[in-house]
Amino acid sequence: MTEKKGVLLKNEPLAKYTSWRVGGPAEKMYLPEGREDLIAFLTVLPEQEEIYWLGLGSNLLVRDGGIHGTVINTRGRLKVMQLVDTNKVYVEAGVPCAHAARFCTELGLTGAEFLAGIPGTMGGALKMNAGAFGGETWNIVDTVEMINANGRVTKRAAEEFEVAYRAVSGLGGEWFLAVELKLSKGESELSQQKIKSLLERRALTQPTNKPTCGSVFKNPPGDYAARLIEACGLKGYAIGGACVSKKHANFIENTGNATAADIEGLIAYIQQQVDQNHSVKLQTEVCRVGDSL
């Protein structure tokens, strides 16, 4: 067995790892050195151990009581990117989506520019079919590498998964380790200009400089969650330190002292108001994990 080279932390506060800056402690957190080290770590975990994956901590609400089990932190890890064919790029799960977008454009490949607008890692983007600016992650997926709780790695085709709006099923107790993106030949300079304009538009319309998780709610069919929330007069509405963004109503900001309970309470209030005023049941896009206090 390969000797573990990563770092194991106990009772590690998760607030400093989440983009909302909230969350209780992780009972255990493992920071793998890389792919082989992660495999070695998983092979010695107890059979029934609960495992959670954490990238950039966006699209994630960790409750104030924290997480029992082991959190695998891929931030700054699992970050290999390489060209594997004329139009295919291999990207490990810990690579931030924005880095993947730029890497692809530098290779003169087009189709991944939208990834620059996703504030998470490729692992998270694969898990939820993340999208931005009209693009969706799984539209450019060719194959994925999966890893299970025993550290066994398998390669699977995109067609083996059921992909929908902000949802992917068919994981079968496995997690995303890496992906091969299938792209098209393009002009590097044009792609880089497209990324620049997309990011400028994002900065104008979203509170990118505030602690948020990204979009909180899925857009209902034929409508926008932000429009419905704004129509209820909820921009600027706050519970504790959690506040509906005045810049974009589908974002909840931590104004400085929010708890996960504040945020969860605000989510429930927004859902209740939108249902009451528009007869639309908003579904959350954000993943909620851990225990309440």
User: pTM of the prediction?
Assistant: 0.91
Q: Are 189 and 197 in contact, with CB atoms under 8 Å apart?
A: no
Which fold, 7-73?
A: 3.30.43
Catalytic residues: 166, 215, 285
Instruction: Quote the percentage of the chain above a pLDDT of 70.
Output: 99
Which top CATH class is 81-205? alpha beta
Tell me, what's the pLDDT at 133? 84
Q: What is the pLDDT of residues 105-143, one digit of tens each?
A: 999 999 999 999 999 999 999 999 998 888 999 999 999
Mean pLDDT of the chain: 95
Instruction: Quote the percentage of the chain above a pLDDT of 90.
Output: 89
Q: How far apart are CA 23 and CA 17, in angstroms?
A: 9
Tell me, what's the pLDDT at 97? 96
119: helix, strand or coil: coil
Q: What is the pLDDT of residues 31-74, one digit of tens each?
A: 999 999 999 999 999 988 999 999 999 999 999 999 999 999 99
Domains of the chain by residue range:
7-73, 81-205, 225-289
Which top CATH class is 225-289? alpha beta
Residue whose token pair is 């909180």: 216
- Phi then psi for residue 38, to 5 deg, are -60, -45
Residue 4 pLDDT > 70, yes or no? no
Q: How far apart are CA 212 and CA 33, in angstroms?
A: 28
Q: How far apart are CA 33 and CA 174, in angstroms?
A: 20
Mean pLDDT to the nearest integer, 193-213: 92
Cα angle vertex 165, ends 273, 158, to 5°? 160
Helix axes 188-205, 97-106, angle to 10 degrees: 150
Q: Are 216 and 226 in contact, with CB atoms under 8 Å apart?
A: no
Strand order in the sheet with 81-85: 81-85, 88-92, 174-182, 141-148, 153-157
Q: Which helix (H) or strand (E) holds 263?
A: helix 260-278
Q: What is the pLDDT of residues 239-279, one digit of tens each?
A: 999 999 999 999 999 999 999 999 999 999 999 999 999 99
Residue 180 pLDDT > 80, yes or no? yes
Q: How far apart are CA 32 and CA 2, in angstroms?
A: 13
Residue whose token pair is 């083996």: 160
Rg (C-alpha) for the chain, rounded Å, is 19
Name which of 73, 88, 61 is nearest 32 in CA terms.
73
Of the candidate ranges 170-179, 220-229, 231-240, 268-277, the one whose mean pLDDT is the lowest = 170-179
Of the pLDDT bands very low, low, confident and very high (cuts 50, 70, 90), residue 3 is low
Tell me, what's the pLDDT at 1? 42
Residue 148 pLDDT > 70, yes or no? yes
Higher pLDDT, 177 or 186: 177
